[in-house]
Amino acid sequence: MLYSSDPYLSRFYYTYSDLQFLLSRHPNDCIRCEVAGNCKLQSLVQEEQVDDNMWMKKSTRGSSEHPEHTLHDHTSPSIYRDMDKCIECGLCVDACAKQQIHAIGFAERGSGMLPITAFDKPLSETGCISCGQCTLRCPVGALIERPDWHRVLDVLDSRQRKTIVQTAPATRVAISEEFGLEPGTVSTGRMVNALRQLGFDYVTDTNFSADLTIMEESNELLQRLSGEREGSLPLFTSCCPGWINYVEINRPDLIPHLSTTKSPQQMHGTISKCGPLANQIAVETGEEPYVVSIMPCTAKKDESVRPGNRGDIDAVLTTRELAKMIRHRNIPFASLSNDGSFDSPMGESTGAGAIFGASGGVLEAALRTAADSLGLEDAPLEYEGVRGVDRGVKVMTIKGVGSVAAVSSIGSAIDLLSNDDWKEKFLMIEVMTCPGGCLGGGGEPKSDDPDILKKRMAGIYNIDSSSAIRKSHENKEVQQLYQDMLGGHPLSETSERLLHTYYTPRNSDREKLYRFLSAVDHRDAKGAASLCTDDVIWNTNTGLYGAACGKEAVETLIQEKLPKADRVYGEEFKRHRLTSPVEGTDVVGPDGSKHHFEVTLNDAGLIKTLTRTSI
Q: Where do contacts with ligand SF4 occur on this chain (CB under 6 A)?
A: 26-30, 33, 35-36, 39, 41-42, 79, 85-92, 95-96, 99, 101, 103-104, 115, 128-134, 137-143
Complex with ligand SF4: residue 41 or 363, whichever CB lies closer: 41
Complex with ligand SF4: residue 345 or 411, whichever CB lies closer: 411
Cβ-based neighbours of 286, under 8 Å, separated by 6 or more: 569
DSSP state letter for 386: G
Rounded Cα distance between 233 and 239, Å, is 17
Asked if 347 contacts 477 with a C-beta cutoff of 8 angstroms, the reply is yes
Rounded Cα distance between 95 and 101, Å, is 9
Complex with ligand SF4: residue 95 or 413, whichever CB lies closer: 95
Complex with ligand SF4: residue 138 or 156, whichever CB lies closer: 138
Complex with ligand SF4: residue 133 or 309, whichever CB lies closer: 133
The least CB distance from residue 392 to ligand SF4, in Å, is 19
The least CB distance from residue 381 to ligand SF4, in Å, is 35
Q: For strand 315-318 and strand 290-295, is the pairing parallel, antiparallel, or unpaired? A: parallel
Complex with ligand SF4: residue 246 or 573, whichever CB lies closer: 246
Q: What is the DSSP string of 60-101?
A: -SS-SS-TT---EE--SSSEEEEGGG-----HHHHHHHHTT-
The least CB distance from residue 141 to ligand SF4, in Å, is 3
Instruction: Tell me the CA distances in angstroms from 437 to 183, 242, 387, 434, one per residue in order.
Output: 17, 11, 10, 5
The least CB distance from residue 124 to ligand SF4, in Å, is 10
Complex with ligand SF4: residue 250 or 611, whichever CB lies closer: 250
Complex with ligand SF4: residue 35 or 313, whichever CB lies closer: 35
The least CB distance from residue 203 to ligand SF4, in Å, is 29
The least CB distance from residue 245 to ligand SF4, in Å, is 8
Complex with ligand SF4: residue 301 or 368, whichever CB lies closer: 301
Q: Where are the alpha helices (DSSP H) in 451-589?
A: 452-465, 476-484, 493-499, 509-521, 525-529, 551-556
Residue 427 amino acid letter: L
The least CB distance from residue 250 to ligand SF4, in Å, is 11
Indicate the length of the chain as a whole number.
615
Asked if 540 contacts 546 with a C-beta cutoff of 8 angstroms, the reply is yes
The least CB distance from residue 556 to ligand SF4, in Å, is 37
Rounded Cα distance between 170 and 512, Å, is 34
Of 257, 481, 260, 214, residue with least CA distance to 368: 214
Compute CA 401 distance to the chain's CA centroid, rounded to the nearest angstrom.
31
Complex with ligand SF4: residue 73 or 312, whichever CB lies closer: 73
The least CB distance from residue 139 to ligand SF4, in Å, is 6
The least CB distance from residue 121 to ligand SF4, in Å, is 12
Of 487, 493, 555, residue with least CA distance to 526: 555
The least CB distance from residue 89 to ligand SF4, in Å, is 4
Complex with ligand SF4: residue 30 or 374, whichever CB lies closer: 30
Q: Is 10 exposed, middle or buried (0-12, 13-18, 19+ CB in 10 A)?
A: exposed
Q: Is 585 exposed, middle or buried (0-12, 13-18, 19+ CB in 10 A)?
A: buried
Of 526, 504, 515, residue with least CA distance to 575: 515
Rounded Cα distance between 382 and 395, Å, is 14
Query: Could you give the maximum distance between any two Cα atoms of the chain, in Å?
Result: 77
The least CB distance from residue 79 to ligand SF4, in Å, is 5
Helix, coil or strand: residue 156 = helix
The least CB distance from residue 20 to ligand SF4, in Å, is 13
Cβ-based neighbours of 4, under 8 Å, separated by 6 or more: 10, 12, 14, 40, 44, 139
Asked if 295 contacts 240 with a C-beta cutoff of 8 angstroms, the reply is no
Q: What are phi and psi of 532, to 5 degrees?
A: -115, 160
C-alpha triplet 67, 98, 5: angle, nearest 5°: 80
Complex with ligand SF4: residue 79 or 432, whichever CB lies closer: 79
- Rounded to the nearest 5 percent, the helix, strand and coil shares of the chain are 40, 15, 45
Complex with ligand SF4: residue 133 or 265, whichever CB lies closer: 133
Rounded Cα distance between 180 and 190, Å, is 13
Complex with ligand SF4: residue 99 or 318, whichever CB lies closer: 99
The least CB distance from residue 414 to ligand SF4, in Å, is 12
Rounded Cα distance between 166 and 169, Å, is 10
The least CB distance from residue 130 to ligand SF4, in Å, is 5
Complex with ligand SF4: residue 72 or 567, whichever CB lies closer: 72
Cβ-based neighbours of 441, under 8 Å, separated by 6 or more: 132, 170, 295, 296, 297, 298, 318, 319, 434
